[in-house]
Structure 1
C-alpha cells in the first residue's frame, strides 16, 4: 500500500478511504477514554501494532499508518488534553498533520497574536469595526470556501460566496460580494491567502479563519478556530478535502518509494536593481522587456504599476549548475541591453531602503505539502538568513515570511520566502541545492515531532528578529543532519561553501555589484 491516511478524532483512528479500511487494525472504541482523553493502555496496544523495536528505537511497520491527521473532537480541546504528551507525537517516521494542535491550545490569545504579527499578519481588534467579514475553512494549504458572515443585531448570519472544487454550493441571498468569486479576483486571493498564511504561521494544517476586509481592501485575522472532526461518509467540504488529500498523499508516497521516482526540476526568478551614482533607482523597464527572460517585475505604486526591478526568468533545469549557468547567460543578455554607464547592479534582501528583492525558487516533480514547506524553511530560508547582509532584515516580515508559496498554473509551485541570492553564483547554487535536498529528503527529515528548526519557536523568533547567533546555535546540529542524508553526497559541492561561510560568520554585501562575481563585463 503506497500511502494510507488516517484520522485520529481523540478516541480512534479511522481510515479516510474505503480502500484502506480493511487495513484498519487500529480503531479503538471510546470505552475507558473519558472526556475524549487518550488512554495510556490503549495507546500501548496501538504502539505495539505500529512499531517494531530495534537498537535505533521505534520504527514504523510499513503500510499500517503512513500519515495521520490529528483532528480532536471538541471535548478534547481542554487544557488537560493539551498538557498531556500526546502519544502520536512519538510516531517516528509517520507524518502527523495538525500535530501542533496541543501546543496551539496552550497558547494564550496574546501569544497567538504575537506569532501572527511577527509574521506580518494584521490582527483585528474586537473594539474595531470589522468591515466585511468572511470565514474561510482551510485544509492543508487549501482554502476550501469563502463564507460571508453577515452581522445582525445579536447574531451573525453566514452566506457562502465561493467554494473550491468539491465544496458546497452557495447558500443564502445576494450580498455585496459576487457569488461567482474565483481565484482571478484579487480580493478573493487576498482573503484566502491570509487564511492559509495564518494557519501555517500558527503551526496548524486544519482550521477555520475569520478574515476582516476594510474599505481599502486590507485583510486582518479576527479569529482562528479548530473545527470538529468530519463525518467521513457524510460529504461536505471537509470530507471532500480529506479524500483529495488521501489520493494526493497516496500518489506522492508511491512515487517516493518507486525505484525510479519522477524527475525533480528546479527554476527561479531572482530580482536585482539598477542603482545610479546619485543613489536613485534606474527603472529596469527603460532597458528590458517586462515579459522577457531577462525582464522586469511590476511594483504597484498607488494606482499605477511601475517596473523598477529587473527579473531573470530562466527555463527550469535539472540541477544547480545548469540553472546557475542559465542565469549567467541571462545576465549577459541583460548587459547587452543595459548600456548606460555608472550603474550598479545590486541583489540581496533590501540593497535599497524600502525596495525588497526576492529570489523565488520554483520546484516541479514534487508534491507541495506543508511538510515540504517547513523543510524548505529549515533548509533554505534559515541558512540564507545566516549569511544575508544585515540590511536584508528590513525585508521581513512584509516579505520573506516563512512558508510563502504560490502554485503555478503549469504545475509545480514557487517558494517565495528567500531574498535575492543573485549576489553571487555560489549563493545561487547553494540555494538551489538546498531546495533540491529539501524536496528529496522531505520524508526523512522531520520524521519526529519538532525535528525541523522551522518548528522550533526560539529559532523562528531568531529568524524574524535577525538574531544570527541564536539561529546558528539551533541550525548547527541540523546542518550536520543534512550532511548525513542520502541526497547530500550529490549536492555537497554546492552546499558546503555556504555552510563554510556560515561557520566562519561571513555574510554577503548587498552593495557590491553582482556583475563582478558573475563575470559580467562592467561598463
Structure 2
C-alpha cells in the first residue's frame, strides 16, 4: 500500500534492488573434443593462471569408449560436484549448438557457476593442436567405415515400466521384485510411512548379437513379469507425472561420438517421440537429445527415448534402427546443423511440425538400411518394421496406453 506523499515506484525499486552483486571468484576455460574434456585453464582475480591437461588415461582407450564426464575426471575432481554439474551443462551446450569441439568459459561466484561463452571453432595454440592430434589418433585409430572386418555391434537395453492396479494407482515394483537382477527396480525411490520404496520396474535383458534375439529376450522377461504379478497391469510409454519411464538402448562395439548421438536422435528418437502415448511427463527434464552414458562394459547407454515396449512392433523397429545406425554411422550425415533444431522440436508443444522431418529422415536412412540388410534372412521383416514405424510416426499415430499383457502375450 502506498500512502499519500510517498513514491510507490521508488519504494518498489528499493525492494527489488539486490543487496549485493555476486563476487567473481574464478573463471574456468574448458576444451572439449567430441565429448571428452582434454584441457582446463583457471583464472583468478589476482591474475594467476593455472593450466592442466587431462592425462591419456582419462581420454578413454578405443577398447572402452569412455566418453563424457564423471566426478572422478582429474580436471574436475579438485573443484567438487557443483563444478562437475557446470561442466556437464557446458558439454550439453556444445552438443545442442551442433559443435564437435570448442572452448567453454564458466564463471564462479559465491552463488555458483554460470556459462559465459562458447568459442567454436576454437583458435588453438600449437600445444593444444598437438594435444588434439594425439587424442584423435588414440581414440579413433581406424574409422569403422574403413574396417570392413569390424564385428557388428552388440545390443542390450534397460526398459522401465510401471505396475498399476485396476483403479490406476501405481504399485511400487519393489513390493514384488528385487533391486538387482534381470528383472529389478530402477533407482528412483519414493517415501512411504514404512520407509522408502522403488516404484519403477526395470527389465535388463542380456546383450545380444541381433535385434531379433534381443526382442525374444524382452518377451521372455515380460512373460515372467506377467506370471509374477497376475492381477496388476504393466505399462510402458513415457510414464506418469513424477515417474517418467525410459527405453534405454545399450550399444557395444562402436565408439560413442557426437556424430553417432546426433544420428540416434534423428533416426531413432525422432520417430519414437511421435508414437509415444499422450500424457507423459518426461520432457524437458528427461529425454533430451544426446542423452547418453558410458557404461562399465565398454559400451554406452542411449537414454533419449521413452519406454518403447508399447507394442512388439515398435520395440523391434527401435532395436533394428539402433543397430542399423550404429553400423552405418560413417556413411550417414553428420547432422551438426540439425542438433539445435531437434533439441527444441522434441518438446511436446513443437511436435506438430515434425511429420515432414520424419519423412526426410527416412529418405536419408532407407537406402543404406536396405543395402545393409539385403541378402540376409531377416531382410524382409527388418525393412517392413522400419517402414511401418516411420509411416506411423509421419501420421503421428500415437499408440494407446494399455496393459502390455494384451500386446505381448503371444509368441512365447
Aligned to 1:389: 277
| SS of structure 2 residue aligned to 1:395 | coil
Does residue 1:363 correspond to 2:254, yes or no?
Answer: no
Q: How does 1:102-121 map to 2 (within 5 A)?
A: none
**Distance change (3 Å), C-alpha of 1:291 and 1:211:** farther
Aligned to 1:104: none
Aligned to 1:468: 351
> Which of 89, 100, 118 is the matching residue for 1:224?
118
Cα distance in 2 for residues equivalent to 1:192 and 1:306: 32
Deviations 1:57-80 (A, max 9, x none): xxxxxxxxxxxxxxxxxxxxxxxx
Aligned to 2:16: none
Cα distance in 2 for residues equivalent to 1:320 and 1:344: 26
| SS of structure 2 residue aligned to 1:345 | strand
- Give the conservation status (yes or no) of the 8 Å contact 1:377–1:403: yes
Q: 1:390 offset after TM fit, Å? A: 3.0
| SS of structure 2 residue aligned to 1:373 | helix
Q: 1:273 offset after TM fit, Å? A: 1.1
Q: 1:158 offset after TM fit, Å? A: 4.7
Aligned to 1:137: 31
Aligned to 1:420: 307
Normalising to structure 2: TM-score of the pair? 0.77
**Distance change (3 Å), C-alpha of 1:484 and 1:371:** same
Range that drifts further, 472-481 or 461-470: 461-470
Deviations 1:87-137 (A, max 9, x none): xxxxxxxxxxxxxxxxxxxxxxxxxxxxxxxxxxxxxxxx76678864432
Aligned to 1:513: 403
Cα distance in 2 for residues equivalent to 1:207 and 1:180: 16
Q: How does 1:52-67 map to 2 (within 5 A)?
A: none
- Give the conservation status (yes or no) of the 8 Å contact 1:143–1:195: no
Does residue 1:299 correspond to 2:188, yes or no?
Answer: yes
Does residue 1:208 correspond to 2:103, yes or no?
Answer: yes
Aligned to 2:263: 375
**Distance change (3 Å), C-alpha of 1:147 and 1:284:** farther
Q: 1:427 offset after TM fit, Å? A: 1.2
Cα distance in 2 for residues equivalent to 1:215 and 1:388: 42
Does residue 1:348 correspond to 2:242, yes or no?
Answer: no
Per chain length, whose mean CA-contact separation is higher, i.e. which structure has more relative contact order (CA < 8 Å, sep 6+)?
A: 2
Cα distance in 2 for residues equivalent to 1:479 and 1:473: 10
Deviations 1:258-290 (A, max 9, x none): 343212111110101112344432211111111
**Distance change (3 Å), C-alpha of 1:247 and 1:280:** same
Aligned to 1:333: 224
Q: 1:193 offset after TM fit, Å? A: 2.3
Aligned to 1:401: 288
- Give the conservation status (yes or no) of the 8 Å contact 1:147–1:160: yes
Cα distance in 2 for residues equivalent to 1:449 and 1:204: 7
**Distance change (3 Å), C-alpha of 1:312 and 1:480:** same
> Which of 372, 377, 387 is the matching residue for 1:487?
372
Q: What's the Cα RMSD here?
A: 3.5
- Give the conservation status (yes or no) of the 8 Å contact 2:83–2:113: no
Does residue 1:285 correspond to 2:180, yes or no?
Answer: no
| SS of structure 2 residue aligned to 1:437 | helix
- Give the conservation status (yes or no) of the 8 Å contact 1:271–1:420: yes
Cα distance in 2 for residues equivalent to 1:366 and 1:259: 13
- Give the conservation status (yes or no) of the 8 Å contact 1:347–1:422: yes
Q: How does 1:132-281 map to 2 (within 5 A)?
A: 134-145=28-39, 150=44, 152=45, 157-159=48-50, 163-165=54-56, 182=77, 187=82, 189-211=84-106, 220-226=114-120, 227-231=122-126, 234=127, 239-251=130-142, 253=143, 255-281=144-170
Q: 1:142 offset after TM fit, Å? A: 0.7
Cα distance in 2 for residues equivalent to 1:294 and 1:142: 33
Range that drifts further, 355-364 or 329-338: 329-338
- Give the conservation status (yes or no) of the 8 Å contact 2:98–2:336: no
Cα distance in 2 for residues equivalent to 1:422 and 1:324: 10
- Give the conservation status (yes or no) of the 8 Å contact 1:317–1:323: yes
Normalising to structure 1: TM-score of the pair? 0.62
Deviations 1:118-172 (A, max 9, x none): xxxxxxxxx766788644321111122555554x3xx56555688453789xxxx
**Number of residues paired by the alignment?**
367
Cα distance in 2 for residues equivalent to 1:431 and 1:464: 20
Deviations 1:366-393 (A, max 9, x none): 121111111111111111112122323x
Cα distance in 2 for residues equivalent to 1:288 and 1:479: 40
**Distance change (3 Å), C-alpha of 1:158 and 1:191:** farther
Unaligned runs of 5+ in 2: 1-20, 60-71
Unaligned runs of 5+ in 1: 1-126, 169-176
Range that drifts further, 403-412 or 439-448: 439-448
